[in-house]
Amino acid sequence: MNIPVEKNKIYEMTIDALGSNGEGIGRIDGFTVFVEGALPGEKIRVLIVKVKKNYGYGKLMETLEVSPERREPVCPVAKQCGGCQLQHLSYEAELAYKTKEVQDDLERIAGIKGVEVKPALGMADPWRYRNKAQFPVGQGKNDCAIGFYAKRSHRIVDTDRCFLQNECNDEIIGIVRQFLNEFQIPLYDEEKHKGLVRHILTRIGRNSGEIMVCIVVNGKKLPNSDRLVERLKKVEGVVSIVLNVNKEKTNVILGKKVITLWGKDTITDSIDGIEFEISPLSFYQVNPVQTEVLYGKAVELSDLKGDETVLDLYCGIGTISLFFARKAKRVFGVEIVPEAIADAKKNAERNGITNAEFAVGAAEEVIPRLYEEEGITADIVVVDPPRKGCDEKLLETILQISPEKIVYVSCNPATWARDLVVLKEGGYEVKEVQPVDQFPHSVHVEVVSLLQKRDM
């Protein structure tokens, strides 16, 4: 094909759609060009910066016709920071985009037509919603830099607040920043794998108000940590201050060892009246308001009558398990992180729930083994895997177990759609698909779906 654009030249074009990273997509004489920051319906002037065989990338130079959905970002560093990709879009249009993304994946990847994805359920107030913050720490121009990674890089954008995080972080980050500068604590350099303080992680229980502050260090100790503790424990809600030891040269934020510097080892929170204890190493959904919506929808889709056995695979600290246990006969949860399973067991006990059991291990190993050795059965299987989706061996075993219903919860519609292909070929029909916006202003979308065994 004759490529109709040249690098370093300026063209006019119209944007037709948003891509999976929130970038505008349009065509110049039939040739696809991706333009960050441009919105559908906009007419723009674009500088071509990269040309590939079948597509190119452009830099937005001027917006000639502005989309009515364009908004001024609330955050002053929204353009640089890699956290939010859609602050320049109205929230209504963002929800419509997310619904369409799920519909496209369902049709293109799973090859399922004729199932209409329900409109994404959004938040009434889509700001300051996160209960977990992970701020990278490094050397700034003069003092320490604490903030977020810039788009597609690990350069730290130094900032003192994030509009997705709880307000308590503004004060906590201020205190840690002051401490690191005052005591000249060595700051981590990712490239050289040198320096001490790597990340600051906070978690807040939305309903309990309890806050955990975790300092991630490339070492065993934090010098003058008693001074930091003195200051942090005065922040309203702080009940736990911990050190996490991560000496690996890795992108993974947390290491395996946690040392409590002050207060409790865990924090508690509740969702819809169920209390949860959460360790620093355990997964816990980051948007508590929408988690209640998500779990409520998963229970609703299951239409429990009270006599069901439910498998909750990739169960974390047993949150979905305990939601289901209130309405089912028995729930069995499986999760790979031992600390999370320890939390799950305590959580069942704490809430007086006696019909939920848990096992540690990879779901793709535990479930096939229990199926072969004990002939494990289930009426409903719930899966909520990490972004990479379900292991194939697990999907095969689920098909052998042959539950009446499968509830698939996913934070990555692309791998969800890939797994649906296997379940569809194995005799399941997609009955309902409901996106839930767990991550406003980012391109990420969560989906909960119901699959029913087809009558053979």
Ligand X SMILES: C[S@@+](CC[C@H](N)C(=O)[O-])C[C@H]1O[C@@H](n2cnc3c(N)ncnc32)[C@H](O)[C@@H]1O
One residue of 166, 285, 287, 442 binding ligand X per CB under 6 A = 285
Residues 441 and 289: beta-carbon distance below 8 Å: no
Helices (H), 304-337: 319-325
Report, in Å, the least distance between residue 156 CB and ligand X: 26
Stretch that binds ligand X, among 163-171, 203-211, 277-285, 425-433 (CB under 6 A): 277-285
- The torsion of the CA quartet 270, 274, 278, 281, rounded to 10 degrees, works out to -110
Which residue's entry shows tokens 């246990």? 325
Q: Give the span between the Cα atoms of 347 and 334, in whole angstroms.
A: 15
- How do beta strands 43-51 and 31-35 pair? unpaired
**Given 339, 384, 437, 446, the residue binding ligand X (CB under 6 A):** 384
Pick the closest to residue 205 from 274, 146, 253, 148 (CA basis).
Answer: 274
If one asks whether residue 283 binds ligand X (CB under 6 A), the answer comes out as yes
Rounded to the nearest 5°, which phi and psi values hold at 132? -135, 130
Choosing from 28, 239, 310, 411, the residue that interacts with ligand X (CB under 6 A) is 411
Single out the catalytic residue among 84, 168, 315, 411: 411
Distance CA 217, CA 187 (A): 9
Residue 99 within binding range of ligand X, rule CB under 6 A: no
Q: Which residues contact 409 (CB under 8 A, 6 or more apart)?
A: 294, 298, 320, 382, 383, 384, 446, 447, 448, 449
| Residues in 348-367 that interact with ligand X by CB under 6 A | 362-364
**Minimal distance in Å, beta carbon 86 to ligand X?**
22
Stretch that binds ligand X, among 48-56, 62-70, 122-130, 283-291 (CB under 6 A): 283-291
Can you count the helices (H) and strands (E) in the chain? 9, 21
Q: Give me the residue whose beta carbon is nearest to ligand X.
A: 316
Pick the binder of ligand X from 157, 322, 334, 395 (CB under 6 A): 334
> Does residue 314 interact with ligand X by CB under 6 A?
yes
Q: By CB under 6 A, tell whether 450 contacts ligand X.
A: no
Q: What pairing do the DSSP bridges indicate for beta strands 238-245 and 211-217?
A: parallel
Whether 315 is a known active-site residue: answer no
Q: Between 33 and 315, whose beta carbon lies closer to ligand X?
A: 315
> Phi/psi of residue 248, each to 5°?
-80, 150
Backbone angles phi, psi at 346, to 5 degrees: -65, -35
120 vs 176, which CB is nearer to ligand X?
120
Shortest Cβ 98–ligand X spacing (Å): 17
Residue 286 engages ligand X in binding (rule: CB under 6 A) = no
Among 46, 232, 315, 406, binds ligand X (CB under 6 A): 315
- Dump the DSSP string for 434-456: EEE-SSTTSS--EEEEEEEEPP-
Quick one: which H or E segment has residue 144? strand 144-149
The reply on whether position 95 binds ligand X by CB under 6 A is: no
What is the closest distance, in whole angstroms, from the C-beta atom of residue 340 to ligand X in the complex? 5
Structure tokens belonging to residue 41:
């319906």
What helix, strand, coil percent values describe the chain, rounded to 5?
25, 35, 45
Distance CA 428, CA 435 (A): 20
Provide the minimum distance between the beta carbon of 288 and ligand X in the complex, in angstroms, as a whole number. Answer: 11
Among 165, 244, 302, 319, binds ligand X (CB under 6 A): 319
Length of the chain in terms of residues written: 456
Region of 83-91, 237-245, 269-277, 316-324 interacting with ligand X (CB under 6 A): 316-324
**CB of residue 312 vs ligand X: minimum separation in angstroms?**
7
Among 26, 83, 195, 316, binds ligand X (CB under 6 A): 316
279 binds ligand X (CB under 6 A): no
Among 42, 277, 335, 379, binds ligand X (CB under 6 A): 335
Could you tell me the smallest distance in angstroms from the CB atom of residue 310 to ligand X?
Answer: 12
Residues forming the site for ligand X (CB under 6 A): 283-285, 314-316, 319-320, 334-337, 340, 362-364, 384-386, 411
List active site positions. 411
